[in-house]
């Protein structure tokens, strides 16, 4: 069973309040003219609105359960013909097409455990891009206050859906647990500092066009969130 399969049935209710990034990614998709590759497409939270805006999306995810939910969301929205969903690993995406835009929303790159794995993922994104194409993604790098606010406490994130964050600053790992009824799942997210991201992007052949601190396009200063708009060099 792939990571996320067990929670595919309640991922959408769990992330119901996460809406701030949708317009940001849809705007990038429209500006690119598509097609767009979304790495770690999940349940189509971003891919379906992109298709509804008229842009073709190829979505890759390692969880068949998440993709089944995405397929049904695309059907319900009447955009199945614009959403092409493929089971696969984002480090070796099953995509032969070259596209003007690759995206990886909602911190999914932090599922890559090590710097080497993150670099593999960045190189994979680079390899999918047309010359000059863009790779847009968001991650986080928490402050001490962010950590202290949530560490080690079960919080009811949505009715009947509980979330707990266990932070390990020494290994820079967030163990994020989610519980609904009898189902409990824990994911690990591995963060990096801004200079480390900049070094990996450079090694992957991606230049930074913009770095935002939030989806309203405020420049990154010292926010937890890092929203990168990068461009394939060469
Ligand atoms: C936080 S969800 C994000 C889903 C979607 N992009 C969104 O914004 O709602 C993370 C997704 O990453 C996928 N994932 C984790 N590791 C992966 C990997 N190595 N290759 C492909 N998908 C992966 C999970 O299956 C899950 O659907």
A 10 A CB-CB count for 23 gives 13
User: Residue 62 has what pLDDT?
Assistant: 98
Distance 119 CA to ligand 1 centre (A): 17
Contact criterion met (CB below 8 Å) for 111 and 175: no
Q: How far does the centroid of ligand 1 lie from the alpha carbon of residue 130, in Å? A: 23
Distance 86 CA to ligand 1 centre (A): 12
Cα 41 to ligand 1 centre (Å): 6
3-state SS class at 1: coil
Whole-number pLDDT of residue 129: 98
**CA proximity to 42, closest of 16, 66, 76:** 66
Which residues have C-beta atoms less than 6 Å from ligand 1?
Answer: 3-4, 15, 40-42, 45-46, 61-63, 66, 89-90, 105-106, 108, 111
14 Cα to the center of ligand 1, angstroms: 14
Residue 107 CA: nearest ligand 1 atom is 1
Q: What pLDDT shows up at residue 192?
A: 97
How far apart, in Å, are the Cα atoms of 4 and each of 155, 207, 214? 20, 31, 26
Tens-digit pLDDT profile for residues 154-179: 999 999 999 999 999 999 999 999 99
Mutate to test the pocket of ligand 1, among 18, 21, 23, 40 (most ligand atoms within 8 A of CB): 40
Distance between Cα 26 and ligand 1 center (Å): 18
Does the pLDDT of residue 144 top 90, yes or no? no
Residue 42 Cα: closest atom of ligand 1: 27
pLDDT of 145: 86
The protein residue with its alpha carbon nearest to ligand 1, atom 12, reads: 40
pLDDT in tens, 61-79: 999 999 999 999 999 999 9
Query: C-alpha angle 63/124/175, rounded to 5°?
Result: 50
Confidence of residue 60 (pLDDT cuts 50, 70, 90): very high
Q: How high is the pLDDT of residue 222?
A: 83
User: Is this prediction's pTM over 0.95?
Assistant: yes
Q: Which residue has the tokens 């932070």?
A: 167
Q: Which two tokens stand for residue 195?
A: 């200079």
Closest residue by Cα to atom 11, ligand 1, is 40
Query: What are the pLDDT digits (tens) for 83-135?
Result: 999 999 999 999 999 999 999 999 999 999 999 999 999 999 999 999 999 99
| DSSP classification of residue 26 | H
Q: Please state, rounded to an integer, the average pLDDT across all residues of the chain.
A: 96
Q: Under the phi-then-psi rule, with left for phi > 0, alpha for psi from -120 to 50, and beta for the rest, what region is 212? A: beta
150: confidence class by pLDDT, cuts 50, 70, 90: confident
- What is the model's pLDDT at position 77? 98
pLDDT band at 232 (very low <50, low <70, confident <90, very high): very high
């Amino acid at each position: 069973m792939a990571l996320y399969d067990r929670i595919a049935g309640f991922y959408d209710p769990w992330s119901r309040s996460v809406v701030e990034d949708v317009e940001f990614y849809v705007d990038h998709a429209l500006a690119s003219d598509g097609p767009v590759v979304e790495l770690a497409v999940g349940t189509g939270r971003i891919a379906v609105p992109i298709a509804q805006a008229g842009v073709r999306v190829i979505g890759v995810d390692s969880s068949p359960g998440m993709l089944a939910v995405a397929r049904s969301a695309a059907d319900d929205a009447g955009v199945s013909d614009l959403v092409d969903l493929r089971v696969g690993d984002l480090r070796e995406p099953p995509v032969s097409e070259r596209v003007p835009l690759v995206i990886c929303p909602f911190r999914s790159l932090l599922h890559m455990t090590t710097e080497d794995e993150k670099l593999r993922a960045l190189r994979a994104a680079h390899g999918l891009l047309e010359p000059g194409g863009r790779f847009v993604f968001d991650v986080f790098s928490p402050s001490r206050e962010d950590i202290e606010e949530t560490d080690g406490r079960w919080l009811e994130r949505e009715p009947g859906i509980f979330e707990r964050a266990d932070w390990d600053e020494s290994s820079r790992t967030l163990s994020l647990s989610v519980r609904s009824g009898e189902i409990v799942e824990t994911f690990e997210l591995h963060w990096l500092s801004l200079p480390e991201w900049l070094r990996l992007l450079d090694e992957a052949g991606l230049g930074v066009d913009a770095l935002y601190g939030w989806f309203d396009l405020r420049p990154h200063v010292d926010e937890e969130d890092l929203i990168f708009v990068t461009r394939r060099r060469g």
